[in-house]
Amino acid sequence: MPRSSEQFEQLRNEKKKLIRETALGLFAENGFHATSISQIAQKAKISKGLAYNYFESKFDILKDIIYNGFDEFFGGFNVNQDNRVTDEEFYAFIRKSFALVKQNPRYWKLYYSLMLQPVVTDSLSNEFIDRSKPVMGMMYNFIVTKGSQDPEGDLMAIGSMLEGAMLYAVVTPDIFPIDQLVEKIISTIQRIIITNTNKQP
């Protein structure tokens, strides 16, 4: 029987995921510049032509990997799409982010290894800034609604702490157990906000 459009779309998504995850492993282990489309196709056990059917270039695969990871982390930040974040949504987002790492530590270790390569930081930094603006804006507004007298400083501190904690959770989970770490992060964020709320002008 001929495939339906839904079946074609499912097949396409499966092939893209295969190429994306294969490329992630090779990019992280060998470096972006040292990895070719031919190597990706060979490792994925598909033809080079099929790989080009889904991605225009190696850099196109890189962007897809990075954006897919970004969207997986931040996709649940504004669940009801009202552009405002409640306490429940904010802390649920943090727990969900660390849960993703716990569920698939190898993937996120490779992902962070790739994120630290110059090709990512040099080529995609502006696109990352643009992509993260809505999330950072909602996080900033959340901090403001809590009464912070230094929302910019709090956002910088909280964002840096989350990024650093996530990296430690990925690289050294034995030293920084995720379940304990995430609750410490949440309680520290609450202390930061409360401290700046209580400051005298």
pLDDT of 28-43, one tens digit each? 999 999 999 999 999 9
- Is the predicted pLDDT of residue 44 greater than 90, yes or no? yes
Closest CA to 158 of 194, 185, 130: 185
Q: Which CATH topology does 1-55 take?
A: Arc Repressor Mutant, subunit A (1.10.10)
- Is the predicted pLDDT of residue 3 greater than 80, yes or no? no
- What does pTM read for this prediction? 0.80
Query: What CA–CA distances, in Å, run from 122 to 55, 125, 126, 128?
Result: 21, 6, 9, 11
Query: What CA–CA distances, in Å, run from 174 to 60, 103, 104, 128?
Result: 35, 15, 15, 30
Interval 80-136: pLDDT, tens: 667 678 888 888 888 988 998 888 888 888 888 888 888 888 888 888 888 888 888
Mean of per-residue pLDDT scores for the chain: 86
Closest CA to 40 of 23, 53, 58, 25: 23
> What's the rounded Cα separation, in Å, for the pair 93 and 43?
34
Domain ranges of the chain: 1-55, 57-198
Q: What's the pLDDT at 80?
A: 61
Per-residue pLDDT band for 200 (boundaries 50, 70, 90) equals very low
Q: What's the pLDDT at 78?
A: 63
Q: Among 55-59, 109-113, 120-124, 184-188, where is mean pLDDT lowest?
A: 120-124
Q: What's the pLDDT at 185?
A: 92
Interval 135-162: pLDDT, tens: 888 889 989 988 888 899 999 999 899 8
- Is the predicted pLDDT of residue 60 greater than 70, yes or no? yes
Give the residue ranges of DSSP H helices in the chain. Answer: 5-30, 37-44, 48-54, 58-74, 87-103, 105-115, 118-123, 125-145, 151-171, 178-198
